[in-house]
């Protein structure tokens, strides 16, 4: 039976909150991307996430909560992590901290830490209030494919594999949350860049924020989004600037900004009218999906500078992983 698409009415939100409490899967909007939500303290429900997404068990889930008080029921917060939560929550910052015994091993890939955040999307927050449970919610797509930023994207990928999709419109941020390892507050590490930037975190914490290397596909991942290949279209993706009129036959060209002058050819896509980074991030997955559906032999994407920082670093991170060899 295909997934039922729910409008965000009060009655539907109550219905979906009850479904989550009963262990069902519900695709929900967040400000970053759509997530496939389940009761985070119900191991059986969380295993259903892995089956629906075809996600390997060594890739842990992010747990979504309403606020810091609920988060502290699931993880051991140090002083610096507590300060971060008060400053950046609700919002696109995930903190990795030692987990408490109530968090099932399936959520953390049997590791000692849990990734946790408070989403800012109003519908996600209303569901959390109504359900009164924490929600494990990785991106609502088949594992490794381009993340969904609309309910239609979710239906395209998981429509025959899950029962419910809550339609909250297009996601405002468009790329996944920043993941920050705070297990050692003297040496915080960005495990995945996102809209909350390393520069913002360094300024707030007053200490150097380090990066982290990708792990092999067989290793237990410290957090989602660390695999070398991820967020990938089915069409081979290549990073590199190219003159639109000289693109090889069968190549889709994705530009950072709308080309000036005459109307571009059908094989040319762009991420922003003027190259604004927030718009590039918001449109990235939508445009990659459209190019992927065009039956090209290759998608060539114009990258940002290799030393780009801030939100540009998050965009480059997603593109590099999408372009990694199979």
User: pLDDT tens-digit profile of 129-180?
Assistant: 999 999 999 999 999 999 999 999 999 999 999 999 999 999 999 999 999 9
pLDDT over 80 at 222, yes or no = no
17 in the same domain as 59: yes
163 in the same domain as 82: yes
pLDDT over 80 at 325, yes or no = no
175 in the same domain as 32: yes
248 in the same domain as 155: no
Query: What's residue 259's pLDDT?
Result: 85
40 in the same domain as 186: yes
| Mean pLDDT along residues 38-66 | 97
DSSP state of 74: T
8 A C-beta contact, residue 28 and residue 13: no
Is 119 a member of any domain?
Answer: yes
Query: What's residue 6's pLDDT?
Result: 98
What is the reported pTM? 0.94
pLDDT digits (tens, 9 = 90+) for 255-274: 999 888 767 788 999 999 98
8 A C-beta contact, residue 111 and residue 6: no
Query: What's residue 34's pLDDT?
Result: 98
The parent domain of residue 79 ranges over 4-211
Quote the number of domains for the chain. Answer: 2
301 in the same domain as 181: no
Q: Strand runs (DSSP E) across 76-174, as ranges?
A: 93-98, 113-117, 135-136, 164-166
List the single range of 14-18, 68-72, 244-248, 272-276 with lowest mean pLDDT: 244-248
Is 318 a member of any domain?
Answer: yes
247 in the same domain as 188: no
165 in the same domain as 72: yes
253 in the same domain as 146: no
């Amino acid at each position: 039976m295909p997934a039922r698409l729910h409008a965000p009415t009060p009655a539907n939100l109550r219905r979906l909150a009850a479904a989550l409490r009963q262990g069902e899967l519900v695709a929900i909007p967040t400000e970053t991307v759509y997530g496939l939500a389940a009761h985070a303290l119900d191991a059986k429900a969380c295993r259903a996430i892995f089956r629906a997404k075809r996600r390997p068990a060594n890739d842990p889930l992010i747990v979504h909560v309403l606020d810091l008080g609920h988060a502290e029921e699931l993880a051991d917060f140090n002083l610096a992590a507590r300060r971060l939560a008060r400053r950046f929550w609700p919002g696109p910052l995930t903190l990795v901290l030692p987990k408490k015994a109530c968090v099932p091993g399936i959520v953390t890939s049997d590791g000692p830490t849990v990734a946790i955040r408070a989403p800012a999307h109003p519908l996600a927050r209303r569901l959390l209030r109504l359900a009164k449970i924490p929600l494990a919610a990785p991106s609502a797509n088949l594992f490794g494919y381009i993340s969904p930023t609309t309910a239609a994207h979710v239906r395209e990928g998981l429509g025959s594999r899950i029962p419910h999709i809550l339609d909250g419109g297009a996601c405002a941020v468009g790329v996944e949350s920043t993941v920050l390892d705070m297990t050692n507050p003297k040496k915080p590490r960005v495990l995945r860049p996102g809209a909350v930037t390393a520069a913002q975190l360094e300024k707030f914490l007053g200490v150097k924020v380090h990066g982290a290397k990708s792990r092999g596909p067989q290793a237990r991942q410290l957090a989602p989004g660390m695999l070398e290949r991820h967020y990938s279209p089915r069409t081979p993706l290549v990073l590199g600037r190219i003159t639109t009129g000289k693109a090889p036959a069968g190549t889709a060209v994705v530009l950072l900004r709308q080309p000036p002058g005459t109307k571009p050819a059908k094989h040319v896509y762009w991420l922003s009218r003027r190259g604004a980074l927030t718009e590039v991030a918001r449109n990235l997955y939508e445009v990659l999906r459209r190019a992927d559906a065009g039956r090209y032999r290759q998608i060539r994407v114009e990258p940002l500078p290799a030393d780009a920082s801030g939100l540009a670093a998050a965009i480059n991170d997603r593109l590099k992983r999408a372009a990694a060899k199979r």
